Amino acid sequence: MIHVFRKGTDETKPTLVLFHGTGGNENDLLPLAELLSPGSSVLGIRGNVLENGMPRFFRRLAEGVFDEEDLIFRTHETRQFLDRAAAEHGFDASNLAAVGYSNGANIAGSLLFHYKNIFRSAILLHPMVPLRGLALPSMSGVAVFIGAGINDPLITPQETRELSAMLQEAGAEVTMHWGNQGHRLSAAEAEAAKSWLGQQQS
Residues annotated as catalytic (active site), given as ranges: 102, 152, 183
Helix and strand tally (H, E) in the chain?
A: 5, 11
- Closest Cα to residue 111, out of 147, 153, 140, 139? 139
CA 130/CA 107 separation, integer angstroms: 7
Are 64 and 128 contacting, i.e. CB atoms less than 8 angstroms apart? yes
Q: Residue 17 burial (CB < 10 Å; 0-12/13-18/19+)?
A: buried
β-partners of residue 107 are none
- Closest Cα to residue 193, out of 125, 140, 130? 125
Are 182 and 146 contacting, i.e. CB atoms less than 8 angstroms apart? no
